[in-house]
Chain A
């Protein structure tokens, strides 16, 4: 196993020791379970309501875990001074960052799998048809989580834990608004505003392209090409952030 693999495995083990992880996954389970109770209160379309709430819970908890564990991965090593023992070994800083990232991605994959299993069991128990569209939505949720994790890791390489959390949340919010802001700016007459908004549109991640929860809940499939391209966009964007994180971490003094 290469250096990245060893660091990733260690990061995975370390995050498994984090109690907040279990609390959040439990909370997601409760949210999914609660959706069944809430669905009884609605008029028709119970299936949609359960699917909506299940997907939203998976997405929300996944993002929260990605942010709050992602920002602490590197900072924890620095605060505990364990970073010195790692840096003293013949391990490049790039491998360290990539190892940490893949370790967290593995953690998130396991969490997402648990939440998905709870969600699917809930659907199965209530005889709700499990369509491929739901799995497509979860796939893109995972890609969104990959991007958010990369954002959190990027900020954590040069700022404190609190600031990283604030900045990551900020980019997450912007990522969901860029498309709307761009369409609003397109209605205006100012060419400068349009140009500035366009720059921001391509600079920040467009997380709305990874959001197909609405149509998935009503069983509408997206085209495989879209699914592939959207996933590719997320992975490429996460790659850009990781490259940035590696570059910043390379320059950092401890």
Chain B
């Protein structure tokens, strides 16, 4: 037995078919109506499906990409085209900002595949190097992508420069950082400040001031606003970290002098331990924990990650005191 709606539809169609009184215009209108109704239904279903499919599901697509060595055979002479399309997928995933550790892994895989297809495509090396190696904390993967980029594009000094930063500051390996920077300095057309920065890096492992200078120099070579914004954010985090370390050092001096931790940070200023309180570049407020003497910022909750990285400088066996112990020495450029 036919569903009432189908019966109605069937009757309607019969009428359209057999009743000679209905003009061609009316028939066309009925067809258009049914067509549009079905299209609306399909659109509604699609809209529903889009909600069902979350960002992780989209990122999963990247995981199913075959290895570059096989894919490059399958795409015939359209390697660059396919590489561009994969890259656009990766960019959308990076831009979604709902990343998981698995998502990072898939991002690495996708960029590895697309750079197999088009090894001279520099943007993925650079952007993924920053994304994984600096922002997502997946330094080894970021460095691996950059090393691949350096191998295929030895004239791009920016890749060695970025690898130098990750080695130096994120991986606490000033020797490797210096090597990368010297490699970058040897590229014709590389900035003149690179050899000096390489020398300084080797001496001052883990110094946030040098790291800041690094990112400041690098961000000036980046034209894309999103990457530039991410680098500026990172620079602000480094300035904040420097401030927090400086305040904690000051609290230690205060404690040594008065036998207790100051109730509030302004006490440091009132008792002449510091001249002025630093301003949080991320717009938060610095607060002291009276029990532990540690300082935190209301603007960030991920201080420990950066702090531990900076703390690795202690193991570097440096003879010089850390530069942030003296605020006069740490004149960082003003962030916009």
Determine if B123 and A176 form an interchain contact, defined as CB atoms under 8 angstroms apart.
no
Q: Given contacts A53-B81, A56-B78, A207-B77, are A38 and B123 in contact (CB under 8 A)?
A: no
Cβ-neighbour of B78 out of A43, A60, A180, A215 (below 8 A): A60
Q: Look across to chain B and name the residue whose beta carbon is closest to the beta carbon of A141.
A: B77
In the complex, which residues of chain A have a beta carbon less than 8 angstroms from the beta carbon of B91? 41-43
Question: In the complex, are the beta carbons of B122 and A45 less than 8 A apart?
Answer: yes
Instruction: Check A59 against B77 for contact (C-beta < 8 Å).
Output: yes
A173 within 8 A of B: yes
A214/B127 in contact, CB under 8 A: no
Query: Does the CB pair A52–B126 fall under 8 Å?
Result: no
CB neighbours (8 Å) of A45 from chain B are 121-123
Whether a CB of chain A sits under 8 angstroms from the CB of B325 is: no
Within B68-109, the residues touching A (CB, 8 Å) are 72-73, 76-81, 83-84, 87-88, 91-92
* Bound-complex Cα distance A207 to B77 (A): 8
Nearest Cβ distance between residue B297 and chain A, in whole angstroms?
29
**Residue-wise interface mask of A (107-123) relative to B, using a CB-CB cutoff of 8 A (1 in contact, 0 not):** 00000000000000000
On whether the beta carbons of A44 and B123 are closer than 8 Å, the reply is: yes
Closest to B128 in A: A43
**Which partner residue on chain B sits nearest A63 by CB separation?**
B77
Residue of B nearest to A208 (CB): B77
Q: Of B78, B88, B121, B222, which contacts A48 at CB under 8 A?
A: B121
How many angstroms from the CA of A124 to the CA of B73 in the assembled complex? 33
The answer to whether A213 has its CB under 8 Å from any CB of chain B is yes
Give B124-157 as 1s and 0s: 1 = Cβ < 8 Å from A's Cβ atoms: 0011000000000000000000000000000000
The answer to whether B120 has its CB under 8 Å from any CB of chain A is: yes
Q: Which residues of A contact B121 (CB under 8 A)?
A: 45, 48
Within 8 Å by CB of B92, from A41, A48, A176, A208, lies A41
| B122 close to A41 (CB less than 8 A) | no
Q: Which residue of B lies closest to A172 (CB)?
A: B76
Distance of A180 Cα from B72 Cα, bound (Å): 9
Q: CA separation between A110 and B202, bound complex, in Å?
A: 62
CB-based nearest B residue for A210: B77
Q: Which of B19-27, B166-174, B223-231, B267-275 contacts A (4 or more CB under 8 A)?
A: B223-231
Also in contact, A176 and B81, with CB within 8 A (given A41-B88, A42-B123, A215-B120): no
In angstroms, Cα B298 to Cα A117, docked, is 57
Determine whether B118 belongs to the interface, using a CB cutoff of 8 Å to chain A: yes
Q: Are A173 and B76 in contact (CB under 8 A)?
A: yes
Q: Which among A45, A177, A217 has the greatest number of chain B C-beta atoms within 10 A?
A: A45
> What 1/0 flags go to A179-200 for Cβ under 8 Å of B?
0100000000000000000000
Query: A211 near B: Cβ within 8 Å?
Result: yes
CB neighbours of B87 from chain A (8 A) = 42, 49
B88 touches A42 (CB 8 A): yes
B227 touches A44 (CB 8 A): yes
Residues A49 and B84 in contact, CB atoms below 8 Å apart: yes
A residues 87-122 near B (Cβ < 8 Å) are none
- What's the least CB distance linking A113 to chain B, in Å? 21
Proximity string of chain A (231-252) to chain B, C-beta cutoff 8 Å, 1 when within and 0 when not? 0000000000000000000000
Interface residues of A in 25-79 (CB under 8 A from B): 38, 41-45, 48-49, 52-53, 56, 59-60
The residues of B that contact A41 with a CB separation of less than 8 Å are 88, 91-92
Q: Is A218 an interface residue (CB 8 A)?
A: yes
Interface residues of A in 143-192 (CB under 8 A from B): 172-173, 176-177, 180
Contact A59 B78 (CB under 8 A): yes
Nearest chain A CB to B306 CB, angstrom units: 24
Which residue, B78, B80, B123, has most C-beta atoms of chain A within 10 A? B80
Q: Are A56 and B81 in touch, CB under 8 angstroms?
A: yes
Closest B-chain residue to A215, C-beta based? Answer: B120
Q: Name the distance in Å between B83's Cβ and chain A's nearest Cβ.
A: 8
Q: Cβ of B224: which chain A residues have Cβ within 8 Å of it?
A: 43-44
Q: Please name the residue on chain B nearest to A181 by beta carbon.
A: B73
Q: Determine how close the nearest CB of chain A comes to the CB of B142; give it in whole angstroms.
A: 15
- Is there an interface contact between B126 and A44, defined as CB atoms closer than 8 Å? yes
Shortest Cβ gap from B202 to chain A (Å): 30
A214 engages B80 (CB within 8 Å): yes
**Whole-angstrom distance from the CB of A2 to the nearest CB of chain B?**
35
Q: How far is the CB of A177 from chain B (nearest CB, A)?
A: 6
* A residues in contact with B79, CB < 8 Å: 214
Q: Closest 9 A-B residue pairs measured CB to CB?
A: A56-B81, A176-B76, A211-B77, A45-B123, A52-B80, A44-B224, A44-B123, A214-B80, A43-B127
| Known interface pairs A44-B127, A45-B122; 13 further A-B residue pairs with C-beta atoms within 8 A, sorted by A's residue number | A42-B88, A43-B123, A43-B224, A44-B123, A45-B121, A48-B84, A52-B83, A59-B78, A60-B78, A173-B76, A180-B73, A208-B77, A214-B120
11 residue pairs A–B, Cβ–Cβ below 8 Å: A41-B88, A42-B91, A44-B224, A45-B121, A45-B122, A52-B80, A52-B81, A56-B80, A180-B72, A213-B80, A214-B118
- Chain B: residues with CB nearer than 8 A to chain A? 72-73, 76-81, 83-84, 87-88, 91-92, 118, 120-123, 126-127, 222-224, 226-227
